[in-house]
Amino acid sequence: MTLSPTSTSASYAAFFTRDHAAARAPSLPSRWNLIGAMLGIATQLWFMPFWGRLTIFGLFVLALWGYAIGSFVHAHFVLPRRGLEVRLSPRMTNVLVTGGAGFLGAHVAAALVKRGESVVVLDDLSGGLAEQVPEGATFVRGSILDDALVESLFAAHRFEVVYHLAAYAAEGLSPFIRRYNYENNVVGSMTVLNAAIRHHTRRFVFTSSIAVYGTGELPLRETHTPHPGDPYGIAKYAVELDLAAATHQFGIEHVIFRPHNVYGELQSMRDRYRNVVGIFLNQIMRGEPLTIFGNGEQTRAFTYVSDIAPSIAESGFIQLGAERIFNVGGDVHCSVNELAQTLLRVTGGASIIRHVEARNEVTHAYSDHSRIQRVFEMSTNKTSLEEGLRQTWLWAKAQGVQQAPVFSNIEILRGLPPSWTR
């Protein structure tokens, strides 16, 4: 098909509009498009004495060409200087999202579908739900521990970018399920990474956790040396270290996110060992007391999922420098008591708060996000806790009360908080 100048310009403009939006660069028309269009018109006017007449059509064509050249300048010279990338080919990228039926994974998969990528979700539904996989993504039910399955998926799809989110992320339970934790979170991760290396995946995006810091100096910064204090954090840090080694030896690029206390729509309320917001919501719907370990003065910074999922999705495509590890999440921290009070206010719930025996956990944990804000040029703090909880409550009410069964294979009962055995 031959394209007239006008249609070429129009298709360029449409394509760049899509990709600029995806890269979260300022939306079109950018100043470069407008400058280009004005130069086009000025050229027409300048040469008018030589061409003899001015036509509306001529003005329009030159303005459109100017607009397209503006897009080109913006894409090739302006955005790269800011660490952002616009792909020149409108082709879909094959991406894999492990854990894409889970909470964060489903949001990341949805953002990728929205970008126009070809998304495969691999999830064994141990924590997620098939109906959470976004429309437009291909869902494969299976485990990241299934080497043959993982290999066949990579052979069939040649994933250019892998988002590895599958994990069992119950940090507090991890000392009592050490073997399960390391199998799922380390061996499973290595199964996916092996295949990614074999099949020349360009970039491996991994959701680690601020659990890697342990009881570090606050606020937790990427420059601190991690000292994880429990098997979950150790597993995450082990994968981080292995990713760095794989990059060094095989050239596979990696991006590591260290999120913390993410909450929002799709968060599992079926897990009694993790997700304090989900646990509280379920308790409110049941009319039960909100249970808090210890005196409730432990502090956390809660993160609304929609504030961070788009950055995680974008990280497979933007140009990055030497910095590959990013704390990501909300800046404002509060105590678990304050969280409970806010939730009761937002939901109008009448539950009382019941303090149960303290458990082994980090007392205060919040991190610095200046790096991600600088590199991604965005805030991960857009939604206030109150507003985020209000949105989550609307969603939770539509789901109704959930069953939260006891974990079936606890490996160590010694020291297990009594409230976890009932």
Ligand X SMILES: NC(=O)c1ccc[n+]([C@@H]2O[C@H](COP(=O)([O-])OP(=O)(O)OC[C@H]3O[C@@H](n4cnc5c(N)ncnc54)[C@H](O)[C@@H]3O)[C@@H](O)[C@H]2O)c1
Binding site for ligand X (CB under 6 A): 98-99, 101-105, 122-128, 143-145, 165-169, 184, 188, 207, 209, 259-262, 268
**DSSP symbol at 319:** -
Q: Judged by CB, which is closer to ligand X: 169, or 346?
A: 169
Q: Which residue is nearest to ligand X (CB)?
A: 102
Closest separation between CB of residue 358 and ligand X, Å? 21
Q: Judged by CB, which is closer to ligand X: 106, or 346?
A: 106
Q: Judged by CB, which is closer to ligand X: 75, or 372?
A: 372
Closest separation between CB of residue 254 and ligand X, Å? 14
Closest separation between CB of residue 62 and ligand X, Å? 50
Closest separation between CB of residue 238 and ligand X, Å? 13
Helix, strand or coil for residue 226?
coil
Q: Sign (positive/negative) of CA torsion 378, 163, 303, 371?
A: negative
Closest separation between CB of residue 213 and ligand X, Å? 12
Q: Judged by CB, which is closer to ligand X: 140, or 246?
A: 140
Cis peptide before 134 (omega within 30 of 0): no
Helix, strand or coil for residue 6?
helix
Q: Judged by CB, which is closer to ligand X: 117, or 171?
A: 171
Quote the distance between the C-alpha of residue 270 and its chain's center: 21
CB 318 within 8 A of CB 83: yes
Closest separation between CB of residue 16 and ligand X, Å? 32
Q: Which residues contact 359 (CB under 8 A, 6 or more apart)?
A: 172, 293, 294, 417
Q: CB-side exposure of 36: number of CA atoms within 13 Å?
A: 21
Q: Judged by CB, which is closer to ligand X: 43, or 194?
A: 194
User: Which pair of tokens denotes residue 420?
Assistant: 């976890």
**Amino acid letter, residue 230:** D
Closest separation between CB of residue 169 and ligand X, Å? 3
DSSP 134-165: PTTSEEEE--TT-HHHHHHHHHHH--SEEEE-
Q: CA–CA separation, 263 vs 157, rounded Å?
A: 31
Closest separation between CB of residue 36 and ligand X, Å? 42
Q: Judged by CB, which is closer to ligand X: 128, or 228?
A: 128
Residue 125 — left, alpha, or beta (φ > 0 → left; ψ -120 to 50 → alpha)? left
> Nearest to residue 98, comparing CAs of 32, 31, 190, 21?
190
Q: Judged by CB, which is closer to ligand X: 64, or 277?
A: 277
